[in-house]
Amino acid sequence: MNILLPDGNSITLDNGANALDCAATISRGLAKAAIGAKVNDTLVDLKTPLKENDTVEIVTFNSPEGKALFWHSSAHVMAQAVQELFPSAKVTIGPPIDAGFYYDFEVETPFTPEDLQKIEKRCKEIASQKLPFAKETVSHEEAIKLFADKNETYKVELLEELEEEASIYKQGEAWLDLCRGPHIPHTGYIKAFKLLASSGAYWRGDEKNTMLQRIYGISFPKQAMLDEHLALLEEAQKRDHRKLGKALDLFSFHQEGVGFPFWHPKGMVLYNEIEDYCRKEHIAAGYSEVRTPIILNEELWHRSGHWDKYKENMYFTEIDESQNAIKPMNCPGGLLIYLNSAHSYRELPIRNFEFGLVHRHEKAGVLHGLFRVRQFTQDDAHIFCQPDQVEEEVGKVIDFISRMYAIFGFKDFKVELSTRPEQYIGDLEVWDIAEKALENILTKKKVDFVINPGDGAFYGPKIDFHILDCLKRSWQCGTVQVDFSMPKRFNITYTDSDGEKKTPVMIHRTLLGSMERFIGILIENFAGFLPLWLSPVQVKVLPVSEKFMDYAQSVTASLAKEGIRAELDDRSEKLGYKIREAEINKVPYMAIVGEKEMQSQTLSLRQHTKGDRGTFSLKECVESLHQEIRDKSIPE
């Protein structure tokens, strides 16, 4: 039979051949690396039989699909190990995640670190047995009876929501799980296994449900890959923005406001520097700044569509016996500003931006420092334009995003085009036009991108930008969304050149995304050692002894007068101790003053992690610092 390959070539296989046979025909190395396949764009097991003219792509661990498949199989291995060691444990779900997998269990007592060690050891034993993953399809009734007999109540609950036959995967003869698959051929493909942590997790993420125990793990086809991953994890822990935020006195979190960050004075310096820079860049790019209220009437959210699609994530309050919502998004307010006056085609595009404070109800279990909060500020903008201006405006946004990321030291980023989700508003024809417009501009800009099916906003398709930090971790930040639907819902118009009323297109976009999240990313990327222009304290003035305190105070005051954020360490401590403290606090520069400096009216400059830079006059020091601030230099 004829089999088509992704590169357009084809190969001939015997009837009844499977995906692994296809890999072996292509090359012995590919067959060895293969763990699954995509047949006609559907991910399947390697044992899946092929048919005439199937399009087959062999999947290895190096692909995103391959990692997900590998880690999904590893989650099954871990679930088997748990039930062998803790026979009363009930299994729930165990999906792959961005870096590894987890599985949730109902157990009598929480897992201990010693339990995790035992489970990990058993996982490795199961892997070494090379137990095959075998798929079976059973009727709906048979599946319910099978899991009911095993007292797997969570699996029964899942099955009762379905009305179709079920697929089951066995590992050897001893263990099975309800699963669509696909999976690796056998457990022996897993050469390295590490369980990372355990925590509580509510069934289906609902705090009204049973508290389960979740175990997180990671696995690889080679031990060296695990070693490298664990080294990166160790480095990431050192860079944890929550720890650094506390150590550097930038922000804090409190039980009195769970999920709401408290910004300290030094944190506000960092926050304001970013905001001020963004404001200047927006104005230079032709945007006008606006601000919309955080509380708006319920009727508005019905009109915008948020009520039907997003109300579970919104907060509400009653004012004058009227129901109101605290805004989760800024766009309805931006539409009201547009509606406030009549507009002509000559005005378009209109580009309005705001640092919009929004509130979204996130479940307590997913809150994570600045990365996932309940209150955050978006560097939001709404562009109102004519349909034939969409591609040009989106192109300008892409260029804007690229410039901004480079300034903050992020020169590498990935791009996703997210298409229509299951729940959406608007016409299918309009969605197709919007998706095509975004695809066209990415192609014209020669931007590499991948399609993310079904992940668009409910009102329009979007382009998402994922920056890569120094550890090559990916962070979704900027987004551009083309919206033909909401302008119609709000009946906004402009007068065209022919005198007719037309509906403009609305482009939603953020560059940094959430200010809070972006600051968390910055802190981790730079391990707390921020570029000079962003550093809350730019120079720490260190007198050698109290004898030189007056001169140190005058140096500090002079630096401050020149716009340098300088801070005096006037403690009665030895100089070496003060230097170590400044290094720990990630201060970019230390100005050391003693007898020699006081006599010559100079200062000795020391740079973080690089040591002495020489002796400078105050004027020379200020000029050098101002130049570095203007250049927005990135620490090496």
Hey, which residues are catalytic here?
331, 360, 378, 380, 382, 462, 508
Task: List phi, psi (to 5°) of 171.
Answer: -110, 105
Closest CA to 485 of 539, 398, 427: 427
Task: List phi, psi (to 5°) of 586.
Answer: 60, 30
Peptide bond into 182 cis (omega under 30): yes
Distance, CA of 115 to CA of 126 (rounded, Å): 16
CB atoms within 10 A of CB 230: 14
Strand partners, 195: 217
Distance, CA of 294 to CA of 355 (rounded, Å): 12
State the amino acid at position 85 in one-letter form.
L
> Would you state the structure tokens that stand for residue 82, as one six-digit string?
């748990």
Distance, CA of 546 to CA of 280 (rounded, Å): 43
List the Cα angle 120/123/125 in 5-degree steps. 115
* Residue 454 near residue 422 (C-beta atoms within 8 A): yes
The DSSP code for 364 is G
Q: CB neighbours of 64 closer than 8 A, spacing ≥ 6?
A: none
> Would you state the structure tokens that stand for residue 468, as one six-digit string?
């890569």
Q: Report how far apart the first and last C-alpha atoms of the chain are (Å, whole number).
A: 57
Task: List phi, psi (to 5°) of 104.
Answer: -100, 135
> Would you state the structure tokens that stand for residue 504, as one six-digit string?
């403009």
Could you give the 3-state DSSP secondary structure of residue 59? Answer: strand
Residue identified by tokens 């201006």 is: 389
Chain-centroid distance, C-alpha 609: 30
* Residue 477 near residue 465 (C-beta atoms within 8 A): yes
> Would you state the structure tokens that stand for residue 51, as one six-digit string?
């048919």
DSSP state letters, 458-526: TTB-EEEEEEE-TT--EEEEEEEEEESSHHHHTT--EE-TTS-EEPPEEEEEEEEEEHHHHHHHHHHHT
Alpha helices in 285-325 (DSSP H): 298-304, 306-310
Peptide bond into 349 cis (omega under 30): yes
For the chain, the maximum distance between any two Cα atoms, rounded to a whole number of angstroms, is 92
State the amino acid at position 464 in one-letter form.
D
Distance, CA of 152 to CA of 142 (rounded, Å): 14
CA distances from 271 to 262, 284, 294, 377, 479 (A): 12, 20, 20, 11, 21
Distance, CA of 116 to CA of 512 (rounded, Å): 39
* Residue 290 near residue 353 (C-beta atoms within 8 A): yes
- Across the beta sheet with 42-44, the strand order is 42-44, 34-39, 56-60
Distance, CA of 196 to CA of 102 (rounded, Å): 10
> Would you state the structure tokens that stand for residue 416, as one six-digit string?
């996703």
* Residue 438 near residue 394 (C-beta atoms within 8 A): yes
> Would you state the structure tokens that stand for residue 57, as one six-digit string?
């792509």
CA atoms within 13 A on the CB side of 635: 22
